[in-house]
Each structure stands twice: as structure tokens, then as C-alpha cells.
Amino acid sequence: MKIAVIAPSEIPARRANTIQVMKMAQAMVISGHEVFVLAPRTPKTTREPDSQIGDLENASGEPWEDLAWHYGLKTKFPIIRLISRPGLRRYDFSLSAVRWARRWNAELVYTRLPQAAALAVMLGSKTILEVHDMPQGFAGPILFRLYLMSASACRLVCITSALANDLQNQYGESRISSRLIIAPDGVDIERYETLPSPQQARSIINNKLRGRFPRDLVRFTAGYTGHLYPGRGVDFMLELAGTLPKIDFLLVGGEIRDISELETEISRQNLENIFVAGFIPNAELPLFQSACDVLLMPYQNLVAASSGGDISRYLSPMKLFEYLACGRPIVSSTLSVLSEVLNNQNAVLLPAGNVESWTLALRQLQNDPETRERLSTQARQDALKYTWEKRVGLILEETE
């Protein structure tokens, strides 16, 4: 099937939605589909794209090797960048992308962009809309209803059951249920099949980041990978580090400003057991996760997205599935939405922000390798249910 994937953000970028779009596009190609990714760009970032369908390097202006490293990809697919002018809120890009897809004779439009989904079904293109939050602002509910009303709308993909339930309550179960697919995020499971031990991975990282860390990372390590936005538990991890001086904390990810502020605060508190690796390309992420004896998801009750909005109610972080696949014990806050995937068999679930319970749990895991092994084995087994290819198969079933 010829699938036009319309991305919501510029590529490359560090936004999680671009990683998810690229992983889905790759899984579609691996599953036997012909895919073009259509991505927005502001007029000043690159030259005009070629008017004809070209190869990835010519169309996107970004060498494939760089994109593959940034996003952790192994399968090549083409990308076209179309202008998105500031102030037009992606409507100009959405119209250009839908027209491009129709000229290409795409059999399916797949998008997370409500503007593109509404325009696509209005023009009669068979479309799948994936949603990660309730429709926002003034236009969001209007675009969502326009999509639901069209016969060309063939699927509505919800990232969590919590989101699906709220959408049905607000927009009517009868309109949504016939199209609804609940599909959590996924993981490239094969990238986690031959990981080094924590000790081996730490040795490799020490050599890679020589000079960045105050000393070598060698002790029992609790790790976190992802953005450092408010609500992700960064301040909480500093507090944990202060109460657990014999455990090292490895923090991977974040924007430059957030990293600078974090390092300033670490210095102010004189914490010597926190190692800030900064942004790491997705291709190397499994190595850094495998360097940890325990992986942390210390989400707070309010969790900020890159846009600043609260996403705690519908959270389905990609790190969750990477952590499962990594085969390391997971210690997570007990947000209700995370219980759609996590349970007491594959993770340690604790109240958000409770330093005493988290400190006790980490000390117990440090001293109990049998429990760590039990949790790791179950986590790895559960990860097999969440591959990107299985997700694509579920979503595209019976759409051809």
C-alpha cells in the first residue's frame, strides 16, 4: 500500500513526536508498504524541495546516515519537506502535503496533525488520524468533528485507553467506536537483543564521554533517559541522589538550556553522584540505558510536554517500552495511565514524589539481585508485545 505519512514537526528535531513518526514510517516499510514522509519546514531553514519525487538526500536536504543516527533507523525511506510559514499554524503545510499525497496517488494518509487529517478527508483521501491528547484550542474540536463525520476517515488511533474513553465521552461513542484502535507506543526490539552488561556498558560510556564526567561511572547506577521538562522528576532525582550517595544517577537527554540549568543546580547542591550525559542520538540510546542497573520514570502528577501542556492523563512515553526491552528493573511513579502497561510483575510502582518510598525501593533493589532479575525478565517478555511492526499491523489491519 502507498502511504503518505504527514509529520507534525520539522525533521530532524529532538521532539518525541518526530521520533515516533520516523519509527512508524520505518515499521510500515518493513511491513511491506511504500512510504513517503511529508514534513514541514520554515522558509529559511532549507532550499525549496524538488518539484518531482526524488531520493531522500535531494528531497530533505539531510544525508540519510545523519537521520538514521539521530533517529536510530536501519531502513531507508524518502522524506519530502514542504513549506510551513510561521503564523499559518501548519494549515498551508497540511494543504500542500495532502495535495502532494493525492498527486502521488497515495492509498492512505497517516497523520498526527488534525489540520492535515481534516483536509485529507474533505478531499476524499482515505485517512488515519493518530491522537495523543484531547483536541485543543478553538479549532481542535472543529477539525476533530470534521474528521469523524467523513466517510474517508477509516481509523482513529488513540495512544491510551484513558484518552479513548475521554474522547468517546465527549464526542460520542457511536462516532468513535467503529474506527477506534488503542495502540500504545512501541520499541525496536531487535536493538535490545544483544546488550552489554551494565558494567560493560558503563566502561564503553566512560571512554566515549571521557572528560565530561567528574569521574568514571562504575557503581550501581539508576538511570533516566528523556527530556528534562517540568514534571519529569528531575528535581526529584536530585533529591534522591542526595539521600543515596552510594548510588550513581545517569541522566540522558534534554535541551541545552535545560542541561545547563541542571548542571548549575547539581553544582549548587554539591552532588557528586549525578552524571549528566546530555542529548544522545537515538542510535546510541540502548547502550546508555543498558549501563543502568535500574531505570527510572519519576513522573510527577503534572507532566509538561514540549508545548508546555499537561500530558499526565494520557501519557504513553516511548522510554517506557525501551525500558521494558532493555531488561532492567523499572521504578516508576504510579500514574494511573501507566498501569495500562506497567504492573507489580514488571516494575516497582511508587507514589510520585515520595522520597522515602523511592529511597527504600532503590536500596532494596541494590541489595537484591534476584528481585532485579525477576523484574527484568518479565519486563523483557512484556516488551515483545509492543514492537513498532506489531503496532503497524494492528493499525493497518483491513485498511487495504
pLDDT digits (tens, 9 = 90+) for 22-81: 999 999 999 999 999 999 999 875 444 433 333 444 455 568 999 999 999 999 999 999
Cα 378 → chain centroid: 22
Q: Do 279 and 341 share a structural domain?
A: yes
d(CA 234, CA 66): 29
CATH number, domain containing residue 152: 3.40.50.2000
The residue among 183, 202, 224 that closes a domain is 183
Give 82-91 contacts, CB < 8 A, sequence gap 24+.
82/38, 82/39, 82/40, 82/41, 82/49, 83/40, 83/41, 83/42, 83/43, 83/48, 84/10, 84/40, 84/41, 84/42, 85/42, 85/43, 86/42, 89/115, 89/139, 90/8, 90/40, 90/115, 90/116, 91/115
Domain that holds residue 352: 189-386
Task: Please report whether residue 101 resides in a domain.
Answer: yes
Sign of the CA dihedral 41, 47, 50, 51? positive
Q: Do 354 and 210 share a structural domain?
A: yes
d(CA 231, CA 134): 19
Q: Do 195 and 162 share a structural domain?
A: no
The grid cell for 216 is 568514571
Phi, psi of 170 (to 5 degrees): -90, -35
d(CA 371, CA 323): 16
Task: Please report whether residue 400 resides in a domain.
Answer: no
Q: Do 375 and 250 share a structural domain?
A: yes
132-182 pLDDT, tens per residue? 999 999 999 999 999 999 999 999 999 999 999 999 999 998 889 889 999
d(CA 320, CA 187): 9
Number of domain units in the chain: 2
Q: Is the pLDDT of residue 257 over 70?
A: yes
Q: Do 208 and 160 share a structural domain?
A: no
Binned at pLDDT 50, 70 and 90, residue 349 comes out as very high
Task: Please report whether residue 237 resides in a domain.
Answer: yes
**Position with higher pLDDT, 173 vs 114:** 114
Task: Please report whether residue 348 resides in a domain.
Answer: yes
Q: Cβ-count burial of 333 within 10 angstroms (0-12 exposed, 13-18 middle, 19+ buried)?
A: buried
Q: Do 113 and 58 share a structural domain?
A: yes
Q: Specify whether the CB–CB gap between 35 and 103 falls below 8 A.
A: no
Task: Please report whether residue 393 resides in a domain.
Answer: no
Q: Do 214 and 170 share a structural domain?
A: no
Q: Do 20 and 145 share a structural domain?
A: yes
Q: Do 169 and 213 share a structural domain?
A: no
Q: Do 320 and 238 share a structural domain?
A: yes
